[in-house]
Amino acid sequence: MMRRLTLAVLLLLLLGCARQAAAQACTFHVTAMAFGTYTGGGAALDGNATGSWTGNCSGSWTIPLGPGLGAGGSETNRFMTGPGGAEIEYGVFQVPYTTYWGNTTGTEKTGDTYTPVTFYGQIVAGQYPTPGNYTDTLSTATQSFNVSVTVLGACAISASNLSFGAYTKGLIDSTSTISVTCTSSTTYNVGLNVGTANGATVTTRKMTGPGGYVLSYSLCQNSNCSINWGNTVGTDTETGTGNGTLQTLTVYGQLHANQNVAAGTYTDTITATITY
């Protein structure tokens, strides 16, 4: 009886040890990396994910990080995918924002302490992808986690000066350019206001010179100036659709003939407004 009792005790002890060892296995977990909202063309946007261990962990560790699922992704240039296969570029770093995190020797993150680890993400500035939701999936050796951002439509605009040169009472044509960059598929309208001269309209603009004299001129959407360029959306503005890159619009100026004014320099300031 004593032998049987002793054997039963030993089996119970062994089973108890087996259960304890299984409960203490070391595991690694990573949270999702959510960037929130990115306005097209905006500044770099930061995000992060946190990795942590549970269980009985000891010794040194190495965490590789794959390039993700985006087409053309690498350790240094990863891509989230959005509407119609559009992509937005981002990076993941061990140290913000200098040391990339990859899955090859020298780019993997290593350590021997088991405090939480931060994955530092950053979306590259100045991108104009199609508005919508973008996602990617990154993988360590043991776990995958999601990366996401919502892109909002946006546009940027700039303009060059228009000079008519020297006026000798003959009609003068001249041009300038307006540069527009909008997120892909974003429709826009570019309007030009009346300028700063008293009594000016979008069809008869005026440059002001010495003694209050003015020179009348027009701004148009086409070269023969048959289509006026004004500031009312749906009526006389220039329209377009963004493609994520810079688009150039030509402003056609026409200085009217046979105006009797004093000699001197004449100027006006036009404000270009983009609506999207």
Indicate whether 13 belongs to any domain: no
Indicate whether 3 belongs to any domain: no
Encoded tokens for 40: 């097209």
Query: Are both 142 and 31 inside the same structural domain?
Result: yes
Indicate whether 1 belongs to any domain: no
Q: How confident is the model at residue 9 (pLDDT cuts 50, 70, 90)?
A: very low
- Smallest CA-to-CA distance from 65 within 113, 33, 38, 34 is with 33
| Residue 181 clears pLDDT 60, i.e. is over it | yes
Query: Are both 187 and 115 inside the same structural domain?
Result: no
Spell out the long-range contacts of 74-80 with Cβ–Cβ below 8 A and sequence spacing 24 or more: 75/100, 75/101, 75/102, 75/103, 75/104, 75/107, 76/100, 76/102, 78/136, 78/138, 78/147, 79/136, 80/134, 80/135, 80/136, 80/147, 80/148, 80/149
Query: Are both 142 and 169 inside the same structural domain?
Result: no
Contact residues for 178 (Cβ-Cβ < 8 A; gap 6+):
157, 158, 159, 160, 190, 238, 248, 249, 251, 272
pLDDT digits 0-9 by tens, 224-271: 999 999 999 999 999 999 999 999 999 999 999 999 999 999 999 999
pLDDT (mean) for 104-115: 96
Q: How confident is the model at residue 16 (pLDDT cuts 50, 70, 90)?
A: very low
List the domain range (segments joined by +) for residue 108: 27-152
- Smallest CA-to-CA distance from 180 within 200, 158, 197 is with 158
| Residue 4 clears pLDDT 90, i.e. is over it | no
Query: Are both 215 and 143 inside the same structural domain?
Result: no
Indicate whether 5 belongs to any domain: no
Q: How far apart are CA 190 and CA 234, in angstroms?
A: 10
Amino acid in the structure at residue 130: T
Query: Are both 144 and 31 inside the same structural domain?
Result: yes
Instruction: State the pLDDT at residue 24.
Output: 77
pLDDT digits 0-9 by tens, 214-224: 999 999 999 99
Query: Which of residues 152, 183, 207 is at a domain's end?
Result: 152
Query: Which of residues 124, 152, 180 is at a domain's end?
Result: 152
Query: Are both 130 and 166 inside the same structural domain?
Result: no
Q: How far apart are CA 163 and CA 28, in angstroms?
A: 66
pTM (predicted TM-score):
0.83
Query: Are both 119 and 208 inside the same structural domain?
Result: no
Q: Which residue(s) pair with 253 in the sheet? A: 174, 219
Query: Are both 170 and 97 inside the same structural domain?
Result: no
Query: Which of residues 98, 130, 152 is at a domain's end?
Result: 152
pLDDT digits 0-9 by tens, 120-132: 999 999 999 999 9
How many domains, in total, are found in the chain? 2
CATH code, domain carrying 212: 2.60.40.1090
pLDDT (mean) for 74-98: 97
Q: How far apart are CA 35 and CA 227, in angstroms?
A: 44
| Residue 119 clears pLDDT 70, i.e. is over it | yes
Query: Are both 40 and 137 inside the same structural domain?
Result: yes
Residue 206 sits at φ, ψ, to 5 deg, of -135, 135
